[in-house]
């Protein structure tokens, strides 16, 4: 059973916290994490790319000149892709890039990402974050005391003061535990969890 230090908002160790083996010491399944990250990024695509083919461009209904005896190449429309002002041949059009990932694979990938942070000593658990009003200065001081870089802060409940404080810090993000995902866990170097967020994760993702 992995054990991590439980620290206060001031950076002082409060006690040791034991984590669930099934969530934070699970076998690391790289293919599952890769599949989930690829699907997550694909689902973020806005699919706004589009261009007009020869049948969608305005005009070009009349044959520009007769088929034979002009000395010129035969053409049936001025909106052919080889004409200036014509349609685009094989251009992009809106399509669905979304990918489906099975629930068991998503859960396996998340447990793998969490276990990876524990294995590499990149997980910090804080008892609570004392911020009543947004303060980037206090949040920067907290991050410096933790000695972490590029942190992902996971809260057990929405907190506008923390979210707004982290918003101004480059390479840092704060999310609710309900929005925890594999891409953010792998994209950010250090993971900071509140104690209640750890309990929520173990409750939902334990086997």
pTM of the predicted structure, to 2 decimals: 0.83
Q: Are residues 104 and 174 in the same domain?
A: yes
- For 18, the token pair is 């034991």
pLDDT for 126: 93
Q: Are residues 82 and 147 in the same domain?
A: no
Q: Are residues 126 and 39 in the same domain?
A: yes
Q: Are residues 77 and 14 in the same domain?
A: no
CA distance linking residue 206 with residue 115, whole number of Å: 12
Mean pLDDT of 150-178: 92
Domain stop point among 37, 62, 94: 94
Q: Are residues 200 and 128 in the same domain?
A: yes
- For 47, the token pair is 């699919």
pLDDT for 190: 95
User: Is residue 207 scored above 80 in pLDDT?
Assistant: no
List, for residues 85-100, the tens digit of each pLDDT value.
Answer: 999 999 999 999 999 9
CA distance linking residue 167 with residue 158, whole number of Å: 14
Q: Are residues 62 and 154 in the same domain?
A: no
Structure confidence at residue 1 as a pLDDT band (50, 70, 90)? confident
The domain tally of the chain equals 2
Domain stop point among 94, 128, 155: 94
CA distance linking residue 178 with residue 205, whole number of Å: 12
Q: Are residues 67 and 150 in the same domain?
A: no
pLDDT for 128: 85
Q: Are residues 163 and 111 in the same domain?
A: yes
Mean pLDDT of 65-84: 94
Q: Are residues 26 and 53 in the same domain?
A: no
CA distance linking residue 136 with residue 138, whole number of Å: 6
Q: Are residues 107 and 82 in the same domain?
A: no
Residue 8: give the domain boundaries: 3-46+98-205
User: Is residue 8 scored above 90 in pLDDT?
Assistant: no
Q: Cα 25 vs. chain centroid, distance in angstroms?
A: 23
SS (H, E, C) the chain: CCEEEEECCCCCEEEEEECCHHHHCCCCCHHHHHHHHHHHHHHCCCCCCCCCCCCCCCCCCCCCCCCCCCCCCCCCCCCCCCCCCCCCCCCCCCCCCCCCCCHHHHHHHHHHHHHHHHHCCCEEEECCCCCCCCCHHHHHHHHHHHCCCCEEEEECCCCHHHHHHHHCCCCCEEEEHHHCCHHHHHHCCEEEEEHHHHHHHHHHHCC
Structure confidence at residue 104 as a pLDDT band (50, 70, 90)? very high
């Amino acid at each position: 059973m992995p054990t991590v230090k439980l620290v206060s908002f001031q950076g002082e160790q409060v006690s040791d916290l034991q984590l669930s083996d099934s969530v934070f010491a699970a076998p690391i399944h790289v293919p599952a994490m890769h599949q989930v990250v690829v699907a997550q990024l694909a689902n973020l695509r806005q699919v706004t790319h589009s261009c007009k083919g020869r049948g969608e461009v305005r005009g070009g209904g009349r044959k520009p000149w007769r088929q034979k005896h002009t000395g010129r190449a035969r053409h049936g429309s001025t909106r052919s892709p080889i004409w200036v002002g014509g349609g685009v041949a094989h251009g992009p059009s809106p399509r669905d890039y979304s990918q489906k990932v099975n629930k068991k694979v998503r859960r396996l990938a998340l447990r793998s990402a969490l276990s990876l942070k524990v294995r590499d000593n990149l997980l910090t658990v804080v008892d609570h974050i004392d911020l009543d009003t947004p303060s980037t200065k206090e949040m920067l001081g907290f991050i410096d005391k933790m000695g972490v870089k590029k942190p992902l802060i996971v809260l057990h409940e929405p907190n506008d003061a923390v979210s707004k404080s982290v918003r101004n810090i480059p390479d840092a993000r704060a999310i609710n535990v309900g929005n925890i995902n594999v891409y953010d866990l792998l994209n950010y170097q250090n993971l900071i969890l509140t104690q209640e967020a750890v309990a929520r994760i173990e409750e939902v993702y334990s086997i």
